[in-house]
Amino acid sequence: MISEQAAEIFLKARTLDPATRIRYVTGACADDPTLLREVSLLLSGANESEAYFDGLARKVSLEVLAEDDTPLPANKVIGSWRLLRRIGRGGMGAVYLVARSDEHFEQQAALKILPTGLDTDVARARFLVERQILARLVHDNIARLLDGGVTEDDVPYFVMDYVEGLPIDEYCVSRRLGIDAKLNLLLDVADAVQYAHRKLIIHRDLKPSNVLVTETGRVRLLDFGIAKMLEPDGNELQPTRMAQRPVTPNFASPEMLCGEQVDVTTDIYSIGVLMYLLLTERTPLCFNGMSLTEMWKHSANEVPPPVSHINHALRGDLDAIVAKALAKQPQERYSSVESLANDIRNYLNGHPVSAKTPSTWYRARKFVNRHRAGTAFSVFTVIAVATIAALAVRSATVSARQTREITAERDRAEQTKEFLVSIFESADPDLVPGNQTARDILESGRARIERELTDQPELQADLLETMSHVYISWRQFEDGQAVLEREQDLRRATSGEVSAEYIDVLFRLAVNADIAGDYDLSLRYVGEALEASEQLGSSYWLALSHERLGRILHLQGDYTAADTHYRRALAWMIEASGKDSMEAVFIREQLANLLNHQERYEESLVEFETSLAVRRKVISGDSSEISPILLGMGSVLTKLGRQDDALRAYEEGYAMNERLYGADNSYNMYFANGLGKLAEVNGDLETAIQRYSEARRLVALHTPYSPNMAFAEAGLARVYALQGRYDLAIPMFRSALQIFTERLPSHWLRGDTKWRLGLCLVETANYVEAEALILDGLLVVEEQWGHDHQNTADARSAAVRLYEKWGKAEMAQNYR
């Protein structure tokens, strides 16, 4: 046991350096061997002991969430932000009010930081996922991500809008809002949630405290802390276990409470609860004092009273809307937030709403119930599944800003497919693999739509639209075409040729044609869309049509025509949404890329810089909207000979992507390729090989058989050829050429690759094949760049080299 004397000597000895310590201890315990032993024992572990028990405390209280309870000191500076005070904390991070001073104004914001005690791999991954989710969401009704990074101690943080407001229910009560005003607020909520869904993000925790309304009546969605990403950019950033967090039972869907897989309809349910709450000032179900099992049962079985029974001022249509949103079975709810919002709008405008019983939906459900045993899958499940897919793909087809290029679209389609498959697997345990394919299921769904909904052409068209997204995502051109043409007929009959719906189906027809590689057909559809947009007189749709046209032409290498259309698109979009709108900026970026390809580097740089400035106004930190601009700038700066600036832009973007998406993310294949090119231009061939190889590896990881692969391989092959390593260069060129031929036949790089491959063959004395390749390649390049261009001259010199080495000097003469 510790004597007081020993404790005193021990404590004193601790303060001394080792040499004096021995002298002191031996002196103090001179004539007491027991005391000396006691003190010695205490000292023997003193260096580790406190840390050890601190560690034990943590080990014991783990799976550790020893959340650091001490707030960070006020005025501490993190990044460019100064902490003012802590405004919240939870398991997932502490939130501080922060300010950034700048010459002109002081900006306040909310900074969320991972508590130091919480810095486990899982918590960190979860935290980064939230940051990544926020980075994707740029919407008026969602608190924006402003900045992000890690502190000096490597603790991740991010900064978002600081929202001062009231929870939506309190706001409605305090302002004594009427029914219409409440519904209008809900429409803003729906709009934000729908936007998130299009970005493939499910919020999963919609409740009043996460839906604030500001002084000016603006709705702001907060807290994507448990949101789920449907498309984790190829990286599994979301450990499934972390998905769980206590949810407020009042606002959670039955499937969420049961811990089952959730999809977008879980958010629809929560919006339904919000709607119920705002309209009646009470939640639909009451869970007070229940155990979890009781909650499950209650949530799954108890049907809340219709809202009109509580508030007699409400009409029956609202009952129908709320009931449909709150349906127990996810597939019986609205299939998308958009359709819920449409019904609310219909209600506000006095139009009939879709949610009426008994409706076709109702009949269909009955049908499904009757046939459940017989068919492994139901139309209904198909529709639910397809709708989710639609959410994924629609963004790629309708909204230009979503889609960086066709390849990105394909990535997304691929992931959508995977997601679909997983839904298919989880949705019906009776489904025997091989017995019935997803395609069969869709097929029978299609037949049923035709058969059973003949009296409802609009609904038919909507369902076909949904199916078309699935076929497009599956790259099933034939099926897609059949469905789309049918939808086109229906749209023509229901909405007329001069309508947004009709233009939309034309866009999808064009995308479908892209899949088959039939660019002429694609152009024809977009041309029709353009005509319809002109007649409709909608600047927004005109902008989209021109942008779409420009993009196809751009991809095909028709730069002059693409230029015209991009510029028109830009003008229309500025008229439709304003100069600084994200849509306009997106088109400007496309234009900048085009100018780059046209070798109009100075102009291109100006457009990129303009875009960057607009984006930076909105977003100050890492952002998925900014890194693509840095990519373009890197490329242009390389060509302008500003190597150092180019390297800086590339490296900034590369690092940003790593922070945003983690290592080996798909975006960095472009940066790796750009860095390869930069090194190639600088004559740093070893670096070039490293970078191109990295690009190739990343492409293989994300989009194995895509034009991207051709670019990376062509680059790598060029460097090998420069080094005289023809054995490596030739197969690489061949592989690239094959992809070009199949995927981008009219791109000039196909010609470039051809003659370069030919030149390698010259060096290995394979003259016959070399001649065909070089002459063919030269033709393509010359057509693109004209007779006098350096690219053409390079190709021509290959011909000269060929004939000289082949001993046909007179032929060589023709190419000098």
Partner 1 sequence: MGGVGDITRLLQEASAGSRRASDALFESVYLELRKIAKAQRRRWSGNETLNTTALINEAYVRLAAQDLANYQDRAHFFATASKAMRQVLINYAERYTAAKRGGNALRVTLSGLSLQDASTVDELLLIDSLLNKLEANNPRRCRVFECRVFGGMTVEETATALDVSAATVKRDWTVVSAWLFSEMKPLGDDTIEDSSG
| Contact residues for partner 1, defined by CB under 8 A | 1-2, 7, 10-11, 14, 18-19, 21-22, 25, 39-50, 52-53, 56-57, 59-67, 69-70, 91, 241, 244-246, 291-292
Our CB check for partner 1 shows the closer of 25 and 111 to be 25
Our CB check for partner 1 shows the closer of 49 and 329 to be 49
Can you tell me the distance from the alpha carbon of 572 to that of 539, in angstroms, rounded to the nearest whole number? 5
Our CB check for partner 1 shows the closer of 11 and 173 to be 11
Our CB check for partner 1 shows the closer of 50 and 450 to be 50
Comparing C-alpha atoms, which of 94, 91, 73 is closest to residue 82?
73
Our CB check for partner 1 shows the closer of 46 and 613 to be 46
Q: How far is the CB of 628 from partner 1 (least distance, A)?
A: 37
Our CB check for partner 1 shows the closer of 241 and 451 to be 241
Q: How far is the CB of 429 from partner 1 (least distance, A)?
A: 22
SS3 of 158, please? strand
Rg value, the chain, Cα:
32
Our CB check for partner 1 shows the closer of 92 and 337 to be 92
Q: How far is the CB of 317 from partner 1 (least distance, A)?
A: 38
Q: How far is the CB of 204 from partner 1 (least distance, A)?
A: 15
Write the DSSP symbol of residue 142: B
Our CB check for partner 1 shows the closer of 14 and 85 to be 14
- Give the DSSP H/E element, type plus range, for residue 43: helix 33-60
- Pair of tokens at residue 366: 């009955």
- The amino acid at residue 204 is R
Q: How far is the CB of 193 from partner 1 (least distance, A)?
A: 25
- Taken in order 81, 82, 85, 86, the sign of the CA dihedral is positive
Residues 6+ positions from 431 with CB-CB distance below 8 Å: 376, 377, 424, 425
Quick one: three-class SS letters along 649-682?
HHHHHHHHHHHHHCCCCCCHHHHHHHHHHHHHHH
Write the DSSP symbol of residue 70: S
Our CB check for partner 1 shows the closer of 117 and 731 to be 117
Q: How far is the CB of 129 from partner 1 (least distance, A)?
A: 17
Q: How far is the CB of 257 from partner 1 (least distance, A)?
A: 11
Our CB check for partner 1 shows the closer of 57 and 77 to be 57
Our CB check for partner 1 shows the closer of 70 and 426 to be 70
Sheet holding 81-90, edge to edge: 77-78, 81-90, 93-101, 106-113, 156-161, 145-150
Q: How far is the CB of 633 from partner 1 (least distance, A)?
A: 44
| Structural contact between residues 701 and 664, judged by C-beta atoms closer than 8 angstroms | yes
- Pair of tokens at residue 494: 């229901």
Q: Where are the alpha helices (DSSP H) in 683-786?
A: 685-702, 707-722, 726-743, 748-763, 767-785
Q: How far is the CB of 67 from partner 1 (least distance, A)?
A: 7
- Taken in order 329, 334, 340, 344, the sign of the CA dihedral is negative
Comparing C-alpha atoms, which of 266, 259, 255 is closest to residue 241?
259
Matching residue, tokens 């660019």: 519
Our CB check for partner 1 shows the closer of 291 and 454 to be 291
Comparing C-alpha atoms, which of 593, 595, 550 is closest to residue 568?
550
Max CA pair span of the chain: 112
Q: How far is the CB of 361 from partner 1 (least distance, A)?
A: 35
Our CB check for partner 1 shows the closer of 246 and 537 to be 246
Our CB check for partner 1 shows the closer of 88 and 745 to be 88
Can you tell me the distance from the alpha carbon of 775 to that of 815, in angstroms, rounded to the nearest whole number? 10
Our CB check for partner 1 shows the closer of 26 and 813 to be 26
Our CB check for partner 1 shows the closer of 53 and 362 to be 53
Q: Where are the alpha helices (DSSP H) in 72-199?
A: 121-136, 168-174, 179-198
Can you tell me the distance from the alpha carbon of 605 to that of 101, in angstroms, rounded to the nearest whole number? 30
Q: Give bridge partners of residue 366 from the DSSP assignment.
A: none
Burial class of 333 by CB neighbour count within 10 A (0 to 12, 13 to 18, 19+): buried
Phi-psi bin for 32: left (phi > 0), alpha (psi -120 to 50), beta?
Answer: beta
Give the end-to-end CA distance of the chain in Å, rounded to a whole number: 100
Comparing C-alpha atoms, which of 413, 374, 371, 411 is closest to residue 392?
413
Q: What share of the chain is helix, strand, coil (3-state, %, to 5)?
A: 65, 5, 30
- Pair of tokens at residue 141: 């009704």
| Structural contact between residues 407 and 707, judged by C-beta atoms closer than 8 angstroms | yes
Q: How far is the CB of 37 from partner 1 (least distance, A)?
A: 9
Q: How far is the CB of 251 from partner 1 (least distance, A)?
A: 16
Q: How far is the CB of 112 from partner 1 (least distance, A)?
A: 18
Q: How far is the CB of 662 from partner 1 (least distance, A)?
A: 23
Q: How far is the CB of 29 from partner 1 (least distance, A)?
A: 10
| Structural contact between residues 654 and 668, judged by C-beta atoms closer than 8 angstroms | yes
Can you tell me the distance from the alpha carbon of 207 to that of 254, in angstroms, rounded to the nearest whole number? 15
The upper half-sphere exposure of residue 420, i.e. CA atoms within 13 Å in the direction of its Cβ, equals: 31
- Pair of tokens at residue 220: 């702001």
| Structural contact between residues 269 and 307, judged by C-beta atoms closer than 8 angstroms | no
Q: How far is the CB of 6 from partner 1 (least distance, A)?
A: 9
Our CB check for partner 1 shows the closer of 52 and 362 to be 52
Our CB check for partner 1 shows the closer of 47 and 764 to be 47
Matching residue, tokens 């996460």: 210
Quick one: three-class SS letters along 489-544?
HHHHHHCCCCCHHHHHHHHHHHHHHHHCCCHHHHHHHHHHHHHHHHHHCCHHHHHH
Q: How far is the CB of 248 from partner 1 (least distance, A)?
A: 13
Q: How far is the CB of 130 from partner 1 (least distance, A)?
A: 17
